[in-house]
Amino acid sequence: MIRVVLVVASLLARAPAQAQEAQPLVADLSKHLVAITTGFVGTEVLLFGAVDGPGDVVVVVRGPPRPEVVRRKERVGGVWVNTGRADLAAVPAYYRVAATRPLPELAPPAVLERHRIGLEHLDLDPVLADTGAGAAEYRQALIRLKRDRGLWAAETREVASLGNRLFRTDLHFPANVPTGTYSVEVYLLRGGEVVSAQTTPLIVSKIGLGAELYHFAHEHGAAYGIMAIALAGAAGWLAATAFRKG
Amino acid sequence: MQIYLPIAELSVNVFLILGLGAGVGFMSGLFGVGGGFLMTPLLIFLGVPPAVAVGTEANQIVASSVSGVLAHWRRGNVDVRMGLILTAGGFVGSSFGVWLFRLLRGLGQIDLTIKLSYVVFLGVIGGLMLVEGVETLRRDRRPSGAPRRKLHQHRWVHGLPLKMRFRRSKLYISAVLPAAVGLVVGVLAAIMGVGGGFVMVPAMIYLLGMPTQVVVGTSLFQIIFVTANATFLQATLNQTVDVVLALLLLLGGVIGAQFGARAGARLKGEQLRVLLAAMVLAVAFGLLLDLVLTPENPYTLGGARP
């Protein structure tokens, strides 16, 4: 915490000295890399920053966009079978919003829509192959599925404001966080309008043995398969000989 | 203690996985089955993606079959020639199975196919085993309860070409038949993430007419190659083999199997068979409920690959 205050203080001290048109908003993360190691159980990243006066701060964390397929089951002859599907071209793998006040109080829906702030304002455009359900149902279903996995958050987290100038919030990343390049967007709102914004990248990456195995498995599938078989064969043989006398 | 599984992309408790391996290993030692039919549904239940559960289980079965076959090999209970022909069919079958798996996954019907195969095959085999086991138990407890089969039953299958002599199995039959059996079981093994012993063993006894003492050893022998092929193909085509998960499972499994085998020695064959049948039916019933009951959420995330 002390370190954070020092960093913020130095940012503030430097800002006016540089030029008159100082940044109205500065923010940074306590780390720019979330490393998924073998013992990874999720982590917190601290976002902190300063504004040049009153206003509301909104933080949006977006995971890398990915294609997704949502399928819908229907009862066919007594058994539940996938009958419909919707394809979505770019769904953020992770999504979370934090703000100093509840979103509806901060800005009109049009502003939130423009900046895609809040789950209901996400740009999800399902391409349907289903006659039994519409885009709205699929949209709600996707939100629910992502929330159940802890990858999207419905509620807005709090951004703590310290003395009208400093702010901070903890960003939580669960154990099943998808890898890729995230963008952490910080908005400064005054009178329901965005007056300043800043985007900081955050990398979520597998590190260590797990990462090596993953890359090995995906880039040299055949060699990985042979290794897996050899390992299993050796383990089985070892077990049989170890327990032969015992 | 949590460990992150690199391929399943999931953080799991090490002791839970070791315990799962030990539990299923105990069952497999007790009943002399591979245990894939228990492990794969359990892994899916834990949240492991079905594709990864199936691919990883194939890898683990390689280990358990190698360790199982060695004891049979020493006693000379492996009909290598029969095993190789079953394997030849199994290679074709499991390759086709992995391909089919990939196709069905793309169509969004893989979960349904896995569950339906389980319900049908476990239901039928569990039911048959239960009926036979209960009948044997009810009858006088003679040392060998069931009436002996004739050594040579002449049926239409003996009219098939490519006849071969299988000395260990005391058979002179067409090679087409074991190859076909191997093929069908290979497809099942690849799709269901099992070794297929629970289909292979009855097929060997009733369809091929092999003597019981060579059945288990020969079945294990061919399972090694079929699951190795399935592992290789799942790894190259679908990247769904998690070695970390497989190693944890087989570590627990090896230890559990030893205790299971010791416990099994104290139970009678018929009792074991009824117990196994009950367990097989319970798994089939659980999956059947899953298929017919109204799901909590009819929508699922397909997990498209980028």
A127 shares its domain with A244: no
pLDDT(B79) > 80: yes
What confidence score (pLDDT) does residue A11 get?
Answer: 53
The percent of residues in chain A predicted with pLDDT above 90, rounded, is 50
Q: Within this chain, do residues A221 and A151 fall inside the same structural domain, yes or no?
A: no
Are both A94 and A214 inside the same structural domain?
no
- The residue ranges of every structural domain in chain B are 2-139+157-292
Helix (H) or strand (E) holding A162: strand A160-162
Lowest mean pLDDT among A51-60, A178-187, B168-177, B183-192: B168-177
Instruction: Give yes or no for residue A92 having a pLDDT over 50.
Output: yes
Positive/negative CA dihedral, B128, B133, B61, B12: positive
A196 has pLDDT over 80: yes
Task: Please state, in angstroms and as integers, the Cα–Cα distance from residue B86 to each residue in B68, B80, B96, B203, following that order.
Answer: 18, 10, 15, 11
Contact: A222, B300; criterion CB under 8 Å: no
Per DSSP, B148 falls in state: P
Query: Within this chain, do residues A164 and A236 fall inside the same structural domain, yes or no?
Result: no
A103, A52: one domain: yes
pLDDT at A19 (0 to 100): 44
Instruction: Report pLDDT digits (tens) over B201-229.
Output: 888 888 888 888 888 888 889 999 999 99
Q: At A201, give phi and psi (nearest 5°).
A: -80, 150
Interchain pair B297, A145: CB under 8 A: yes
- Percent of chain A surpassing pLDDT 70: 90
Question: Who has greater pLDDT, B269 or B245?
Answer: B245
CA distance B224 to chain A (A): 9
Average predicted confidence (pLDDT) for chain A: 87
Distance of CA B148 to the CA centre of its chain: 27
Among A41, A214, A229, whose Cβ lies nearest the Cβ of B231? A229
Angle at B53 between CA B49 and CA B56, to 5 degrees: 135
Residue from B4, B102, B258 whose CB has the most chain A CBs within 10 Å, to mutate: B4
Q: What is the pLDDT of residue B275?
A: 85
According to the model, what pLDDT value does residue A185 have?
A: 95
- Chain A positions in Cβ-Cβ contact with residue B25 (cut-off 8 Å): none
Same domain, A14 and A80: yes
pLDDT band at A240 (very low <50, low <70, confident <90, very high): confident
Query: Which of B185, B176, B234 minimizes the C-alpha distance to B53?
Result: B234
In this structure, the answer to whether residues A193 and A228 fall within a common structural domain is: no
Residues 6+ apart with CB under 8 A from A185: A59, A60, A61, A62, A115, A197, A198, A199
Q: pTM for this structure?
A: 0.79
Q: What is the DSSP string of B243-264?
A: HHHHHHHHHHHHHHHHHHHHHH
**Backbone φ, ψ for residue B44 (5° rounding):** -65, -40
* Predicted local confidence at residue A231, as pLDDT: 93
Does one domain contain both A201 and A219? no
Q: Provide, as residue numbers in chain A, all residues whose Cβ is less than 8 Å from the Cβ of B254.
A: 235-236, 239, 243
Q: Are B97 and B193 in contact (CB under 8 A)?
A: no
pLDDT of residue A72: 92
Domain extent, residue A194, equals: 2-205
The answer to which of A21-35, B49-63, B154-168 has the lowest mean pLDDT is B154-168
**Domain total for chain A?**
2
The stretch B53-77 carries a mean pLDDT of 88
Tens digits of per-residue pLDDT, B145-191?
Answer: 444 555 555 566 666 777 778 877 787 888 888 899 999 999 988 88
**A106's tokens:** 């901060």
CB-closest option in A73, A217, A231 to B239 = A217
CB A59 within 8 A of CB A115: no
Domain shared by A139 and A235, yes or no: no
* Residue B145 confidence (pLDDT): 45
Residue A152 bridge partners (DSSP): A95
* Euclidean distance between CA atoms A182 and A180, whole angstroms: 6
Do A112 and A155 lie in a common domain? yes
Same domain for A13 and A101, yes or no, is yes
Assigned token pair, A162: 């310290």
> The tokens of A140 are what?
């709600």
Instruction: With a cut of 60, say whether residue B242 has pLDDT above it.
Output: yes
**Measured CA angle at A34 (ends A29, A38), to 5 deg:** 155
pLDDT tens-digit readout, B98-145: 899 889 888 888 888 888 988 998 899 889 888 888 888 787 555 554
> Quick one: pLDDT at residue A187?
94
Q: Are B121 and B140 in contact (CB under 8 A)?
A: no
One domain, residues A200 and A246: no
Q: State whether A221 and B306 contact (CB < 8 Å).
A: no
Cβ B300–A231 below 8 Å, yes or no? no
Chain A, chain B: beta-carbon pairs less than 8 Å apart: 185
What is the predicted pLDDT for the residue at A220? 93
The ipTM (two decimal places) reads 0.84
pLDDT number for residue B109: 85
Q: Which residue has the higher pLDDT, A216 or A4?
A: A216
β-partners of residue A29 are: A47
Question: Nearest-CA neighbor of A195 among A9, A57, A11?
Answer: A57
Looking up residue A114, the CATH number of its domain turns out to be: 2.60.40.1930
For the cut 50, the answer to whether the pLDDT of residue B306 exceeds it is no
Sequence-separated (6 or more) residues with CB below 8 Å from residue B123: B281, B284, B285, B288
Instruction: Give pLDDT, residue B303.
Output: 57
Query: Is pLDDT at A219 greater than 70 in this prediction?
Result: yes
Identify from A73, A85, A206 which residue to disrupt to test chain B contact, counting B C-beta atoms within 10 A and taking the largest count. A73
